[in-house]
Amino acid sequence: MIVLVALGIIVGLGVLLFLWFIGIYNGLVRLKNAVKNAWSQIDVQLKRRHDLIPNLIETVKGYMTHERETLENITKARNLAANASGVGEQAKAEGQLNQALSSFFLVVENYPDLKANTNFLSLQEELTSTENKIGFARQAYNDAAMQFNNKIEMFPSNIVAGMFNFRQAEFFEIEDEAERAVPKVSFS
Amino acid sequence: MFELIRANKRRSVILVFVMLLVLLALGFLIGAAVVPSVGASRVDYRGDQASIQPGFAFDPTGGFLGMGVAFFIWMIQSAIAYFAGGRILLSISGAREIKKEDHPQLFNVVEEMTIAARLPKMPRVFLIDNMALNAFATGRSPDNAAVAVTAGLLGKLDRDQLQGVIAHEISHIVHRDVLFMTMVGIMLGTIVMISEVFLRSLWYSSATRRYRSSSRREGGGAQMILMVVAIVFAILAPIIAQLIYFAVSRRREYLADAGAAVYTRYPEGLAGALEVLARDNQPMENVSRATAPMYIVNPLNKMSAAGLMSTHPPLQDRIKVLRCIAGGVSYADYQTAWSKALGKKAGSIPASALASKERAPLRKPSGKSAKAARRRMREAGDLLRNVNDFLFLACVCGMRVKLPPDFKKDHVDCPRCKRTLQVPVAQLAAIGAIGDQLTGATASPAQGKEALTVTRHGREWMSFKCRCGAMKNLSPSFTADHTTCTQCGRSIQIVQG
């Protein structure tokens, strides 16, 4: 009788433990999918930007015959970014593309004709918007990644994470050289 | 963010409850005061009983009846507001839904803010046919939300400012302000309506009632006291309800401003927009006191001071708070800026939002130029004309002549170079653009005319004369195998040779 009760308790505890285990595992999967979903949001915008750039080059080519180098830089950075894989590499490539684009838009100031071109203006608007969208989606992705990473590292979910080989999500941080650089101030 | 919504919900429930109590109390008092004196036989009998027995014998039947009626009126109005409120508001203000092609920038900005606020679905976008500067959001939940902006707003604000305004509206949607303000607004409306009906009917029927009560003296003193209490409450209740309503409305405006700063990470955008809005003095049409709290600035009385009876905080205060945000943006930063700018401690942000550690760095402004401002204004005007079915005619001199849909002639003089432009009547009739009004003008119908066949070589520019004498040009980008003459509507076949 006593043996039976003890056995029952042990089995009951085992079942409880198993259920708890499943709960943790499912929680981890849910967070992982949230990270994936947030990343796909960014990915859509990145793809859109990569698609816009050839159009941009095509539009400005006629106007900017003397800026071959700037345009080539953009194309190069764009191709690099389009072929990048993995969050970290992508972020680095996008940072370079950002830089190439911002130096391009500085040069545009010297071409009033181009600035009056409606096609160019709508492309510029689309590019600005996708850049903003990437920025806002990045915040959501990084929050999701942070939550997932916390769960992986914290006890007791770290045990389950270790057993099923959940790996930490990378943060998506675009290096912005322009923001880092110290502005030069001269009073002369 | 969810914490914030929950805190908002809790507070709303309390407020709705208080308003409901006021409403029910009003219904009860009016019912109790009115019913025995109406003169129904059953009540008269009870009234006699009361007069036989000395002292005060209170009969609550009338009171409960009044409560029931008040509750019923409120339920019906709420149901209408819940299921059709957004549509009603949009149609009252004369808003029209627009597509991405109509104004890509507005669409992009709404999309950006949808991402920033993490809404599940992008709200629909509406244009209000008005050159005043304003915007509002509707929809009981993020799934069926809509934002509406005036054409004037699109013309006057630059990209960052527009983003600030849209972020403010999206923030209203995220905080469920629209649903809440509609519901409380309806309750306020019901209270005002019931009191008004009661007081007016009292005014008109006072003569007969005085006669009746003096002749029969039923109920006597007790009824008299009840009547006085009901009158006093009927006067006070709308005022109490309005004070609650407006106080909450102002709080929510601050909260939406804070949300806008957090979403855009650029408080100066909204601050600049509010400044432009403050300078504008175009009157807004089709706005009632009920719809006023939905707008970003009070469309009825923009300059009112921080009165208890205003739906929006004064613009100067809102701008000051936004400009005081420094270092980074979060709800806590907004709160700090708020107390710094206004010198008050009371918070407009729920504590749960302040506890959140999310803090984003400020963003840089996007570039702007004076020339862009002119172009923007022109684009907004064109957009307005476009949704209103105007016809655009390009002149050789570069001028774009805009014709209203009820334009009845088949030619017009360019206002700049005085060239006579032909209105492509037949073509328009063919696509049914403005058709009906114009076909009757001078255009001869296309039917019964022999088709023209033209041989084209390659894909270069090509000019030829139609049988009616009009010149026709084909551009290199023209690839179709047929076209119609803009003058006579004759169909022209193009054969590659």
Q: Is the pLDDT of residue B312 over 90?
A: no
pLDDT at position B204 is 73
Q: Which of B50-59, B95-104, B381-390, B464-473 has the lowest mean pLDDT?
A: B50-59
CA distance A4 to chain B (A): 48
Q: Using CB atoms, which residue from B109, B115, B159 is nearest to A137? A: B115
pLDDT tens for residues B365-375? 665 555 577 77
Q: Is the pLDDT of residue B299 over 90?
A: no
Q: Using CB atoms, which residue from B108, B116, B364 is nearest to A125? A: B108
- The size of the A-B interface in CB pairs under 8 A is 34
Q: Is the pLDDT of residue B219 over 90?
A: no
Round to whole Å and give the CA distance between B262 and B322.
Answer: 11
Residue type, B164: G
Q: Is the pLDDT of residue B482 over 60?
A: yes
CA B33 remoteness from chain centre: 40
pLDDT tens for residues B394-439? 787 777 788 877 777 777 888 888 878 877 766 665 555 544 444 4
For B103, nearest residue in chain A (alpha carbons)? A122
**Domains of chain B, residue spans:** 1-369, 452-496
| Interface check A140 vs B, CB under 8 A | yes
Burial of A183 (0-12, 13-18, 19+ CB in 10 A): exposed
Cis peptide before B476 (omega within 30 of 0): no
pLDDT at position B46 is 46
| Interface check B102 vs A, CB under 8 A | no
**A129 to B112: CB separation less than 8 angstroms, yes or no:** yes
| Interface check B266 vs A, CB under 8 A | no
CA B223 remoteness from chain centre: 46
pLDDT at position B216 is 46
Round to whole Å and give the CA distance between B490 and B88.
Answer: 46
Among B107, B112, B154, the residue to mutate for chain A (most A Cβ within 10 A): B112
Q: Which of residues 42-101 of B touch A (CB under 8 A)?
A: none
pTM for the structure as a whole: 0.72
Q: Using CB atoms, which residue from A128, A136, A179 is nearest to B115? A: A136
**B159 to A128: CB separation less than 8 angstroms, yes or no:** yes
Is A55 contained in some domain?
A: yes
For A128, nearest residue in chain B (alpha carbons)? B366
**B112 to A126: CB separation less than 8 angstroms, yes or no:** no
Is A81 contained in some domain?
A: yes
CATH number at residue A127: 1.20.1440.20
CB contacts, 8 Å: A133 with chain B: 111-112, 115
For A136, nearest residue in chain B (alpha carbons)? B116
Q: Using CB atoms, which residue from B112, B364, B367 is nearest to A133? A: B112
Is A155 contained in some domain?
A: no
pLDDT tens for residues A54-101? 988 888 888 887 788 888 888 988 998 888 888 888 888 888 888 888
CA distance B371 to chain A (A): 10
Is A90 contained in some domain?
A: yes
8-state DSSP, A168:
P
Q: Is the pLDDT of residue B323 over 60?
A: yes
If pLDDT is split at 50, 70 and 90, which confidence band does B197 have?
A: confident
User: Strand order in B146-150's β-sheet?
Assistant: B95-97, B124-128, B146-150, B135-138
Round to whole Å and give the CA distance between B471 and B491.
Answer: 14
pLDDT at position B452 is 79
pLDDT at position B131 is 80
Is A179 contained in some domain?
A: no
CA distance B166 to chain A (A): 14
pLDDT at position B206 is 57
Q: Is the pLDDT of residue B98 over 70?
A: yes
| Interface check B159 vs A, CB under 8 A | yes
CB contacts, 8 Å: A105 with chain B: 367
Q: What are B354's two structure tokens?
A: 């302040």
Range of the domain at A73: 35-134
pLDDT at position B444 is 45
Residue, of B236 and B297, whose pLDDT is higher: B236
- Mean pLDDT throughout B300-319? 66
Q: Could you give the number of structural domains in chain A?
A: 1
pLDDT at position B472 is 79
Q: Are strands B400-403 and B391-394 parallel, antiparallel or unpaired?
A: antiparallel
pLDDT at position A161 is 85
If pLDDT is split at 50, 70 and 90, which confidence band does B333 have?
A: confident
